[in-house]
A = this chain, B = another copy of it.
Amino acid sequence: METMSTVTGLKSSGDVLFLMLGAVMVFAMHAGFAFLEVGSVRKKNQVNAFVKILTDWSVSTIVYFVIGFPIAYGISFLKPAEELLGKTQGYDLVHYFFLLCFAACIPAIISGGIAERAKFWPQVFAGAVFAGLSYPLFESLIWGKNSSLLQGIFKGIGGAEFHDYAGSVVVHSIGGWIALPAVLVLGPRMGRYIQGKSHPLPISNIPFLALGSWILAVGWFGFNVMSAGNLEKISGLVAVNSLMAMVGGVLAALVAGKNDPGFVHNGALAGLIAVCAGSDIMHPLAAFVVGCVASVIFVYGFHYEQEVLKIDDVLGVWPLHGVIGSWGGIAAGIFGQKALGGMGGVTFVSQLAGSLSAIVFALVSGFVVYGILGKTVGIRLSQEQEYAGADLSIHSIGAYPEDHVR
């Protein structure tokens, strides 16, 4: 009797610890987003990158608490603390915390695309709409309380539900495909393309870029492994598949990107983005291949975007999170098959359909929100502000104040 209640207690506290650790790991990833952007922009926009990411995180926390999580899962937190704690030691609260970390990725992803020329508050507002409304709406359709509808359609078309274990599509592709219209509406930075010719602007700091990539890669194991939701559902396969896709991404980027440190460190992320969807159903060697392909997509996609299409997406978040996120969704439909050593239960058609639906949803969301903001309050710094840099223009201080004394 006593044993049983101890076991129930252990299970319940184990679940809270499990999700809390996952939440903290993914929360830490936001420091990674910040450093990745800080290293990839010019020095005059570093402070802005930090403040943007932290502000977006904070605003997302509130809107997802009050609006987003209730939309996606039908659970409201507007009741006394004692009821929030309930008999599960506050499991719903840590579940919210964990999933908030996903929702807050949307503005963090976009931030890297629109860097160095966006106005501060319109950007924060857009992030709030995405994290509090658009993302939770799509989330509810795939993972949440309204999933029967859309999943029913996918099942009808492809013979299986759309499978996205940890968000290649729901999180990364949504973020990356929203960023594309944002970047298009905003237009390129001053001096990026002159008379149709490309003039890449130098990045400032590879150690910070590398730090960002490392923080993201480490936290990603929380992103993927804790997507189990409960401790009892933890899977060592998810951990090792994440690892394998990451190293596939690193090695393919090293070769395709000719030893370039930016490609190598973003390559790790490319692999991790691609593996989220099928990390629970692929064989580790398949995950390695998925990661390799992801990095090849990134290296060539980045070049195509920036040099051929002439889209000034500073951190390349559309190819990185958008296109590779879609690739991850589709890849789960290929390498999740039993014939390729996977666990089965997925189909190529359903995965393709789910991935395409996210692209449509994101493009519409992005064009509507950024379109309206662009035509009303305006989303771009003035030429003088952009020239001076977002740090001095918005924050009245540079990243290295001592260096500018005397």
Contact = CB atoms under 8 A, between A and B. Distances in A.
**Majority DSSP secondary structure for residues of A touching B:** helix
A258 interface: yes
Nearest to A58: B247
Interface in A88-108: 88-94, 96-97, 100
A364 interface: no
B14 A10 contact: yes
Interface in A210-268: 210-211, 214-215, 217-218, 221-222, 225, 231-240, 243-244, 246-247, 250-251, 254, 258-262, 264-265, 268
Contacts of A57: 247, 250
A43 interface: yes
Contacts of A34: 210, 214
B50 A20 contact: no
Contacts of A235: 16, 85, 89-90
Given A47-B206, A259-B120, A261-B395, A244 B11 contact: no
A254 B94 contact: no
Contacts of A262: 397
Given A3-B7, A10-B10, A202-B402, A24 B341 contact: no
Contacts of A13: 14, 231-234
Interface stretch (A146-154, A155-163, A276-284, A299-307): A276-284
Contacts of A231: 10, 13-14, 17
B402 A254 contact: no
Interface residues of A, number: 117
A332 to B, nearest CB: 12
Given A3-B4, A17-B18, A239 B90 contact: yes
Interface stretch (A74-82, A109-117, A176-184, A374-382): A74-82
Contacts of A23: 221, 239
Contact of A261 (B50, B65, B260): B50
A51 to B, nearest CB: 5
A34 B268 CA distance: 15
A308 interface: no
A405 interface: yes
A28 interface: yes
Contact of A90 (B28, B210, B240, B258): B240
Contact of A51 (B259, B283, B400): B259
Contacts of A59: 247, 251
Given A31-B214, A42-B402, A62-B247, 20 more contacts: A3-B7, A7-B7, A7-B10, A10-B232, A19-B236, A28-B218, A50-B264, A50-B265, A58-B246, A65-B284, A84-B237, A85-B235, A90-B235, A90-B237, A92-B236, A93-B240, A205-B399, A206-B399, A259-B396, A261-B397
Interface of A: 3-4, 6-7, 9-11, 13-14, 16-21, 23-25, 27-28, 31, 34-35, 38, 42-43, 46-47, 50-51, 54-55, 57-59, 61-62, 65, 77, 80-82, 84-85, 88-94, 96-97, 100, 120, 202-208, 210-211, 214-215, 217-218, 221-222, 225, 231-240, 243-244, 246-247, 250-251, 254, 258-262, 264-265, 268, 281-284, 288, 338, 341-343, 394-405
20 contacts: A13-B233, A24-B218, A24-B222, A31-B211, A31-B215, A35-B207, A51-B259, A84-B284, A85-B235, A90-B235, A93-B236, A97-B236, A97-B243, A202-B401, A202-B402, A204-B400, A204-B403, A259-B394, A259-B395, A259-B396
